[in-house]
Amino acid sequence: MSYPTFELLRSQSIDALKIRVEEYRHKVTGAQHIHLAADNNENVFLVALRTVPHDSTGVAHILEHTALCGSQKYPVRDPFFMMVRRSLNTFMNAFTSSDWTAYPFASQNPKDFNNLLDVYLDAVFFSRLDELDFAQEGHRVEFAEADNPNSDLVFKGVVFNEMKGAMSSVSSQVWHTLCKYLYPTSTYHYNSGGEPEDIPNLTYQQLQDFYRTHYHPSNAIFMTYGDIPAAVHQEKFEEQALSKFEKLDEIISVGDEKRYHAPIAVEEAYPLDENDADDIEHKNHVVVSWLLGKTTNLDESLEAQLISNILLDNSASPLQQALETSELGQAPSPLCGLDDSSREMAFVCGLEGCALENAAKVEAMILGIMQKVADEGVPQEQIEASLHQLELSQREVGGDGYPYGLQLILTGLTSATHRGDPIALLDMDAALENLRLKTQNPHFIQETVRKWLLDNPHRVRLTMRPDLKMNGRIQAAEIARLAQLKASLSEDEKQTIIARTHALQERQLQQDDESILPKVGLEDIPANLHYTAGSHESFHNFPLRRYSAGTNGLVYQQITCKLPALTDEQISLLPYYSICLTELGAGEKDYLANQRWQSQVVGSIHAFSSIRGAGDDVQKIDAYLTLSSKALSRNSAAMNDLMKNTLLHVRFDELGRIRELIAQNRARREQSITGHGHSLAMTAACAGMSPAAKVSHQLGGLEGIAAVKALDNSLEDEKNLANFATQLNAIHQLVLQAPKQFLIVGEQEHLDSYRDDLQARWTNEITRNDFASFDLAPVSETIREAWITNTQVNFCAKAYPTVPSEHPDAAALTVLGGFLRNGYLHRAIREQGGAYGGGASQDSNSAAFRFYSYRDPRLSETLKDFDDSLVWLQETDHQWQSVEEAILGVIGSIDKPGSPAGEAKSTYQAELFGRTREKRELFRNRVLAVTVADLKRVANTYLVPEKASIALVTHAGHKELAEKMGLTLKTC
């Protein structure tokens, strides 16, 4: 049943996803509403606008930011971030894609959902677009000394600095350069996020013009999920937005791309810091890409996914195997795979770490593999394995990263954006069966590879080479541009810049009347912690936990071993041992046969180690190794065979494969720095506060990245490689002697059979009295480091030793993080400082309180902001509402739901380390009881200057500044 101003176009149940999809159209404006009705109280809303920029000024991205800075009904400066802290949302954000901009949120609380809906609808359709907000979020020029017109001009702006950080990533550089050639005429030719040197070209008038045409209901797609009926949503859409509009005649769309009649080969450069100049001749990237069919054509989309899976799914796939074993490069490109986020799909493959002269050889190798597939085909079992992977990905109930409903919505959004059939992308059972029938034709794969790849002339080979001088030229060009601008300014224009600087500062400092915004309070918080209960049982002396969950025909299993006592050298090898455990051969199978087996049986299999401090003393640690997998229910027994064979019979004699795995890991981790710089900086700053924090920095942090580079270089020596494999095997022999326990997550009706499968395969556990558990020496030291890497922006962290999770003060410290972010740090670091983000948090696992900034143009000034926030805390008379908002944020994080399987696995892992339901409930209750006095007291007690540690991630241009700050320079 629809609201009167909407008409129902169609309705379709999708049993596999336990949803009913309803498609509606608004009678006046033509706005589309797609509702996914589900028996789930985590309701999701998203409104998407088709946004099609024709340059790289970042107009859609800057508009996304600016639209959330105040609206007609809510004329406050920052309603979005205000609502973040006045809400119990389980998700709240905004996205800019290459051809759409979306504003999604989710909440389990009906009152909260309606509050957020009010604010989002007004923000999107009735935004104020204040020119000062455009200056803050997009770009502006200011004098380096705000009141001195004789000082240098500088560019500022949140998006400007965000994109400087984003484009510091080499893989981002490669992708956007590839799109420039792969899409020569359509919107994908441009960087929708904005190129830093193009962003200052965007005018305020252009932003307003783009808003008027693109942010109109006629160009909008409303999507909802959950147990609130569609008509209830539609009434609000109508009353709060749609009734104020007429139909817009202009149709926003992406046209067909101009197709090449012959392949092209291009070469461009990317900037590389001089600290990374070692082996520069092998830091080239070579990728080959094809433009395929339309994402709105489900048959073509599934064919492309199948071909991509067959070629690249695992190390036994023909193209993936060739890329991993090729001597032409160090590792497969991170871009390898199918991109189906645009109107027309792209298939990409290639290598990184190539010599420049080998670019044509890389392309020839790739084409040779495809020609072989076209000539000889692939075994039917490999086709069945790829179909199996497609089925599993379609069935899995997600929700651990994004809410499950939002995942489903985003699945259908690409098709809806291009006026295709979003329901078809959700209801894929019939299409998958049709694809399965097609594959019965023994020539189908060969014909499809020829059609989409070998005989497709729209092919681009891109070579990206490093240029050590390019960053300097980019900076010099920016300085020259600003100098030329300054020289052209009249005295009146200089005073106008100064006046705008002051006006923006006053706007950032003004106290808005937050009472006009809706809110929830502590009274709206559920009384009890949501808890996923599992069984506590055993078989053959093995502890077993079983959890009943709505997994839609999937089963999840983990085998957990106590980590044994290891030497310091063995501890340093733990990450590589975890990687190799599931990537090598096992028993009689070599790694290729094992990869094929995995693809046929499971959706994924991986191993990881967990090292945590005790809840009452972080200097005491516990540690486990977990082997984790998931499969379709029908493959439960086969998954058990695979996991047992993997754990008991992994072989470390495949030296070439081990060498490949380390090179691939090095490449992935080097690329991760600019995307996770704030986390890496915080990990480094906390490394002196507990043994678990120190080992986290050594294994997974900046020190670990430096270590894998050194390890990778050392393994070029065959003796070193053989010794490395021997060391991994020695760790494994110790793990085999460790006590083990098991986890099973699945639907209730299958749990007994899953347990029976385990019992049939594992004999009695033998308790070893001589087993020595993993242990680490206590740690207590102060860190002051600056890590130099290839980045245009900075990541700052400052940390203080505090208390573990079970200490009564842990709750107040946790609330303090949100309180400082909401009340001081967001304004000082993001709005005034221009960083993309900043904040503070308590990490009870490390017993550390951490300040951080993300994609930050500043260093010492940000560290001062951290300190000033503590002065503000003590000297300001704070209102209770600010404390309540910080508490809401913590409780929202604690209560945020995951996927059915994810919640069970999280509970299991927490209880391994003694985080019982009772302890988690106690912590939650302590959070609810925090007061202003508690916040001031814990800050006074623990956040004292002489105990502070500092870690920065920055670039070579800041070496001298870092040294003046008394920091030790390190490179990664």
- Length of the chain equals 972
How far apart, in whole angstroms, are the C-alpha atoms of residue 205 and residue 380?
59
Cross-strand pairs, 375: none
Neighbours of 644 (CB within 10 A): 16
Contact of 57 with 194, CB cutoff 8 Å: yes
Q: Which two tokens stand for residue 967?
A: 């920091």
Q: Could you give the CA distance from residue 119 to residue 133 in angstroms, rounded to a whole number?
A: 18
Half-sphere exposure of 901 (CA within 13 A, CB side): 22
What gap in Å lies between CA 170 and CA 200, rounded to an integer? 23
Is the separation of the CB atoms in 174 and 333 below 8 Å?
yes
Task: Give the number of other Cβ atoms within 10 Å of residue 721's Cβ.
Answer: 17
Distances (CA, A) of 295 to 18, 52, 302, 445: 24, 17, 9, 19
Do the Cβ atoms of 180 and 212 come closer than 8 Å?
no
Given 22, 23, 42, 64, which residue is catalytic?
64
Task: Show contacts of 726-730: CB within 8 Å, 24+ apart.
Answer: 726/652, 727/569, 727/570, 727/573, 728/573, 728/576, 728/577, 728/580, 728/652, 728/658, 729/652, 730/570
Helices then strands, each counted (H, E), the chain = 35, 28
Contact 613, 621 (CB under 8 A): yes
Question: What are the Cα distances from residue 46, in Å, to 103, 104, 129, 776?
Answer: 5, 4, 21, 47
CA dist 106 → 90, 325, 397 (Å): 5, 44, 17
Q: 723 in helix, strand or coil?
A: helix
Task: Kindly provide the b/e burial profile for residues 472-509, where b requires at least 16 CB atoms within 10 angstroms of the residue's own CB.
Answer: eebeeeeeeebeeebeeeeeeebeebbebbeebeebbe
> What DSSP letter does each residue of 394-429 carry, written as one string?
HH----SSS-HHHHHHHHHHHHHHTT--HHHHH--H
Q: Are 683 and 702 in contact (CB under 8 A)?
A: yes
Verify whether residue 246 is a known catalytic residue: no
Put the strands of the sheet holding 795-801 in their side by side order. 837-843, 848-854, 795-801, 949-954, 784-788, 968-971
Pairing of strands 837-843, 968-971: unpaired
Report the run of H or E that residue 961 belongs to, with start and end: helix 959-964
CA dist 903 and 891 (Å) reads: 16
Residue 269: Cβ within 10 Å count:
16
Instruction: Judge contact between 163 and 196, C-beta under 8 A.
Output: yes
Closest CA relative to residue 850, chosen from 832, 834, 869, 835:
869
Q: Cα–Cα distance between 132 and 207 in angstroms, integer?
A: 13
* Token pair 């391994």: residue: 912
Alpha helices (H) along 794-853: 810-820
Q: Are 216 and 210 in contact (CB under 8 A)?
A: no
- For 12-22, b/e burial (b = at least 16 CB within 10 A) is eebebbebebb
Which residues does the annotation mark as catalytic? 64
